[in-house]
Structure 1
Amino acid sequence: MVDAGAFFAACHRNSSWTWPRLKTLTLTTQVFVPGVDAIRPTAKILERAAAAARKMPRLETLHIWNGRAGLAASFRYQASPPSITWRGTWPRTLRHGAFYPWKEVAYDRDPDAQLAVYHEAIDKRFVMKSHADAVHYLNLPATVIRPVSLQQIRLDDRVRAERRAVERQCMLYLIASGSDLGLDPVVPMV
């Protein structure tokens, strides 16, 4: 996982960098979080990403994402047909101006192209237990993590959750019986 903020800041400082053969890029960012405080940092990353994408003439897809327990969001640029997609577990907080630089990226490749903009909400029934769930529900490319590793992490998350549920049930039983407090077990009266 590579932090998008650090990568695009370096690109911004070194304006002569180009990537003539790069086709796919996937980066993470901690600024994709819900709330008003994240609007400006998110817009800044997307603006810098667009500036870098203009120096990647063969770029087909770019993903920037964040995911952890409780939240997930991704930004995806696709060159053909030109589109950008924001997908997340919270309502969109991006302003229209954040997408304008991507219109320039599309125009560089084809002056007649129309950039499509999509916003997709992740179904609230899906619970993000970890970054592995985020990878799954954000529909990120397989290059983000090996499929076997993703399955193992998600299975481990489920096993951990089941273990906690069993431990909770045992603790409740022990409390009800009084055995963990050094008291005589509660004997029901007949």
Structure 2
Amino acid sequence: MSDSKQPETGLPAGWEVRHSNSKNLPYYFNQAEKISRWEPPAGADTEKLKQYMATYHTKPLVAEDSHPGKIRAAHLLVKHKDSRRPASWKEAQITRTKEEALEIIQSYEKRIRSGDKTLQELAQTESDCSSARKGGDLGYFSQGEMQKEFEDAAFALKPGEVSGIVDTASGLHLIERIA
């Protein structure tokens, strides 16, 4: 064993974090079983994993060229057990109720509006979307690419504005228009 200590990922034995070149996102891989997945495996220490991912797999927001007809937004997603896919990079199975998810996202909204944290800072460790690694940044998109409720809220914002809570089939979102 070498002297260089690997950072603690919080993943069960045999699992590691790898990076998908096609999606430009990290994923979880088990070498022995040849299994890859976007959500963490059962038995992961979610607190250690959140810290590891925030430290080693979060990219800063980068300014890009103008994209006519498109906007750029970041979001913070809180899923619940009735979300269309009740799993995330943090939790293999999400069991919270929609009411519990609402309380959680309301607390994040208060922190953002008070200036305690930015949406991007909270998204890095708290969002249930894999975009958390990029501070919630979804990149540029045009109308017709996102769920209607999300899109309507995002396109109604001016750059720098943060939405109220937006309810979609994916869960509850706070959206910040970047450009």
TM-score scaled to structure 2, two decimals?
A: 0.25
Larger Rg belongs to: 1
More helix, by proportion? 1
TM-score scaled to structure 1, two decimals?
A: 0.24
